[in-house]
Amino acid sequence: MKKILIVHTALAGALVFSAGGTSVFAHDEIGGGVEKGDNLAGVELAVPLIEGSKNTGNLQEVAAVPLKEIREGIKNSTGDVYAHKGFAYLGTHRANGGGGGVRIFDMKDPSNPVEVAAFAEIEGTWQEKVIVKSVNTKHFKGDLAAVSVQKMDQKDPNAQGGFVLYDVTNPHEPKKLGFWESSSSGARGTHELYLTVQGDNVYVLTADCYADYYSHGEKMDVSIVDVSNPDNPATIYQFNPRDYIPEVSDENYDGYNWTDEEGIKRVAFAHSVKTDETGKTAFLSYWDLGTIMLDISDAKNPVYLGRTDFANNVQGAAHSMDLAKGGTILVETREIFGPTREGFESAYGYTMIYDIKDKSKPNLLSSFRTDFTETIPNGATVHDPKVHGNTLYLSHYSGGVRTVDITDPSAPKQTGMYIPSKSNIWGVFVDRNYVLASDIGSGLKVLQKSGGSSSQGLTE
């Protein structure tokens, strides 16, 4: 019988890791941290597990499917998850040599997902992020997948990072189209990306972590690539924060290390990118520079709109974002594994919610922290957000999946949670009447609402 962790408020204080380890700053590659998620793999929580039940709060697990072995004896771990037209797309992580590509699952029966294809399984790389959109240009009509490609060995001069494009109009038979190389030597390639459509134009926005730093400013972390002809992707723009943000210059920023206007030493690099539904406003999650907003109506000539900011004692770490209330509310998740840093508040990463009706002056409405903030070392940080209606879904590594009511964005309330045994939830995606979660160690999880409630998170 599978064991599912059910946590009640009374147990929260008892949650600890059975495995030790020092705190690290997630994603602080240059500062010496580990790849996020790696330090949680295989860790068991020393807390009673309830036999025979798959209900946690208002989410019920209806399926849990491991990835197939596409190479004999090699088990790939999962990255992010996306869904399109009744199929789930799972990227893969870097464990066991990478090369796991993207896996496609037929979701006709959500209780029985069937893996039907694998693609982009490129040796020496890993494919964390995948976005799929229906596009119609003079060069291509159908369903287009953009997949991030990161190097396993960044010191290998022959390794290629960037992103690859596939025709997945028939998800059972993906067909390779073009490849875009992120050519900054020493950097990992494209960590996260987003595929967006503006009428007849199709663009991929890239977050190439540390490209600016490793290239000494010759290449930027964020590029806009025209993929209207997916066989021939072409870079049309690179974002340089020094050109737009008064607080950033060559004197106080080297592409990674940044000294802010208060003299506080911080870290700033592009971690992820996304647009609104129109494809005309871009959101760049830029770690301690916050979430940077650009008008990309003219994708070759973006206009800077504004950015979120942090109090002097708050570690930044703007990791990813999503929008609510018709794009007037910004949900920003901050990934911090190392809660203790001299001069800053002691806190794992949590969620911040902003009113962005005036993007030049984002207004912080509230922050949301789970009740596990100090009780699951190295697993208490939030990861990715997804908004569906008035519900915010958060992936939380060993903290599982959380549902949060944001009907009133100034007073978010936790309404449910799902924490499987050995939980290491990377991504979450809402599709039709179910929720998909990617668990780094154990594959695809499918959740459906089941009623009930759970303990409230802490808000401020």
Confidence at residue 364, expressed as pLDDT on a 0 to 100 scale: 98
Pairing of strands 234-239, 329-334: unpaired
The per-residue pLDDT for 341 is: 83
* Nearest C-alpha neighbor of 420 from the set 449, 440, 404, 392: 440
pTM: 0.89
pLDDT of residue 289: 97
219 touches 183 (CB < 8 A)? yes
Tokens matching residue 228: 């209207």
Q: Would you state the pLDDT for residue 20?
A: 28
Q: Give the span between the Cα atoms of 175 and 160, in whole angstroms.
A: 20
Closest CA to 385 of 289, 285, 296: 285
Of 310, 275, 305, residue with least CA distance to 289: 310
Q: What is the bridge-based pairing of β-strands 3-5 and 413-420?
A: antiparallel
Strand arrangement, sheet containing 78-84: 78-84, 87-92, 102-106, 114-119
Q: What does each C-alpha distance from 393 to 134, 154, 176, 324 come to in angstroms?
A: 24, 33, 32, 12
Backbone dihedral angles phi then psi of residue 104, each to the nearest 5 degrees:
-110, 130
Distances from the Cα of 33 to the Cα of 22, 82, 128, angstroms = 11, 27, 18
The answer to whether 240 and 222 have CB atoms below 8 angstroms apart is: no
And the tokens for 86? 């009744």
pLDDT for residue 215: 94
For residue 12, CA distances in Å to 57, 172, 457 come to 15, 44, 12
Token pair belonging to 445: 């999880």
What is the model's pLDDT at position 308?
Answer: 97
Scanning 143-263, the segments in alpha helix (DSSP H) are 211-214
Q: What is the DSSP letter of 397?
A: B
> CB count, 10 Å around CB of 11?
14
pLDDT of residue 348: 85
For all residues of the chain together, what is the average pLDDT?
A: 86
Report the pLDDT value the prediction gives residue 15, as an integer from 0 to 100: 25
CB of 394 closer than 8 Å to CB of 385? yes
pLDDT of residue 446: 96
Q: pLDDT tens-digit profile of 416-459?
A: 888 888 889 999 999 988 999 999 989 999 998 765 444 444 33
Phi, psi of 326 (to 5 degrees): 65, 25
C-alpha–C-alpha distance, residues 303 and 239, integer Å: 10
The confidence score (pLDDT) of residue 5 equals 34
Q: Are 448 and 58 in contact (CB under 8 A)?
A: no
Instruction: Encode the chain (460 residues) as per-residue pLDDT tens digits.
Output: 333 333 332 222 222 222 222 233 445 567 554 455 444 444 444 333 323 334 445 778 999 999 999 998 999 999 999 999 999 999 999 999 999 999 999 999 999 999 999 999 999 999 999 999 999 999 999 999 999 999 999 888 888 999 999 999 999 999 999 999 998 888 999 999 999 999 899 999 999 999 999 999 999 999 999 999 999 999 999 999 999 999 999 999 999 999 999 999 999 999 999 999 999 999 999 999 999 999 999 999 999 999 999 998 999 999 999 999 999 999 999 998 877 888 888 888 999 999 999 999 999 999 998 865 445 555 678 999 999 999 999 999 888 899 999 999 999 999 888 888 888 999 999 998 899 999 998 999 999 876 544 444 433 4
